[in-house]
Amino acid sequence: MLRSRWRVLQAVSVQQPHLRDTEARVRRRQALRRADIAARDQRRRTRYASFVKGLAMPRTLACVSTIVLAALGVGGCSTIGVSPPEVPGVIKAPADQEPFLEALATGAQVYECVPKQSGGYEWAFRAPEAKLTSRLLGSDLGKHYAGPTWEAPDGSRVLGEAKERAPAPDPNAIPWLLLNAKSTFGTGVFTQTKSIQRVATKGGITPTESCSASNANQFARVPYTATYYFYRSR
């Protein structure tokens, strides 16, 4: 970091010999800031690469490396510190699967006002739109969108298919779900996914606004949060 900042200072000094000039000082500060941002981004990429490498390890090799442990801030021999949540029996994952990733989702459930076959109008669910983050790292784990699909920064994706559901403890929240991994794409974090649980939901229920001919085909985004658990074969 210090060497990088020194090189930036040298480059700016050569290009701007009169650093006492106000414009030169401004450029110097901007150059230092760019160097700091670049270094910070590189550290984040390194931490994420270590995180992904740890997730890809099978359970028999789950005593993760010192580098991964340092990045995650955990220790010991585990599956990256992910434990299955307490859920109703109907949405428990199969016994031959284990959780390997927890993702916190923040975003919206998207609905559209559409005509009903029986007459009138109703809000129809269309898709989720959410950002995924890691509770352990506090960093970006990707995004969640129509499909339903979960996509990691490494490009890997998993397409889910709802299998079971259970009412959320909060009556004003969307239900908890168990989904099968219908298909996966790419090579990375989500490639090994077999099942997905949606739990700890808040918000996201059908809009309370009126739905009628006057606002037909209108979309409504209802804020929601949830926690998703991803399972792989043991």
Q: What is the pLDDT of residues 120-154, one digit of tens each?
A: 999 999 999 999 998 876 678 999 999 999 999 99
Residue 16 pLDDT level (bands cut at 50, 70, 90): low
Give the Cβ contact number of residue 21 at 10 Å: 11
Q: Looking at the predicted structure, is the pLDDT value of residue 40 above 80?
A: no
Q: Looking at the predicted structure, is the pLDDT value of residue 222 above 50?
A: yes
* Residues in a beta bridge with 105: 132, 226
Average pLDDT over residues 40-45: 63
To the question of pTM greater than 0.75 for the whole model, the response is no
pLDDT digits (tens, 9 = 90+) for 80-101: 568 999 999 999 999 999 999 9
Pick the residue with more confidence: 44 or 109? Answer: 109
